[in-house]
Amino acid sequence: MDEQTARLEKRVAQQDERIAQLERRVGRSSRNSSQPPSADRPGSPPKRGKDRSGRKQGAQPGHEGKGRPLLPAWAVDEVVEHWPLECDCGHVFVAADRVGVGEPTRHQVEELPVMAVTITEHQCRRERCPGCAATVTAILPRAIASSAFGPRLQAAIVTLTVRNRVSRRDVVELCEQLFASRISTGTIDAILTRAGDALADPYADLLGRVRGADALNIDETGWRLKGAQRALWGAFTDRHEDSGNPGILESFSQPDDPLNGYHATLSRAGDLWLARARAPAAT
């Protein structure tokens, strides 16, 4: 019995040592060992570099801070003046004391205006013809009759859905909460279809410019579509900051075959959000 107990105690000691080794191994990272950062587990905090000067991280004493720059006076919509209420000596200021000394300190606050859609009712009036006594009803202009939503609201919906990739249901909620607008997912689809049709000519123009360019820069980045990983391909005819027509961005569904993306047929859907900038009124 004593021999068996000794063997069990020895085994327990070995297991305790093994567990301790495994715990140390699991806890190792590039922050506490020579392990490279690439071997760190997902979610591990990044390793901070050592400052050989011994200074603390962040701005040093005497460093000139870089705050938010103030906008010029012409960009300010409203100015609110604040005057001192009392002095440290005990004097209480009154309106007659308000004589400014030097330049005031300035603080600017940016705020959204109270947003809600404006509702315009179009009434088609009826008149009786004095010639034949027939009743004639006015006809709505085609641009107004085509939708219950104005061009700016439709452009915002297209931007949220296509450029910012907000789901149809979330756009419905955003329109209700931000704009106090009543809209359905079916209406959003109809707006996107009309926007795509309106961009047919700008798309053809961009496509012709890209195909006729002397040289192209093509690149791709990750893109999710319907929950799956895809690739968003870009074909650029010029530098973005130097040209108002940087080219066409396209979305392809073959992320695992990069070469196939270069020869794929250009898709109108991927270009919708880029071309809308060239025809904002049409959306």
pLDDT for 34-51, tens place per residue?
Answer: 667 766 666 666 656 555
Confidence tier at 125 by pLDDT (50, 70, 90)? very high
CA 275, 200, 166, 171 dihedral sign is positive
- Percentage of the chain lying above the pLDDT 70 cut: 75
With a cut of 60, say whether residue 250 has pLDDT above it.
no
The model carries a pTM of 0.53
Give Rg (Cα) of the chain.
33
- Is the pLDDT confidence value at 95 over 70? yes
What is the separation of C-alpha 14 from the centre of its chain, rounded to a whole number of angstroms?
Answer: 56
In this predicted model, what pLDDT tens digit does every residue of 139-165 receive, in sequence order? 998 888 888 888 888 889 999 988 888
Rounded to a whole number, what is the largest CA-CA distance in the chain? 126
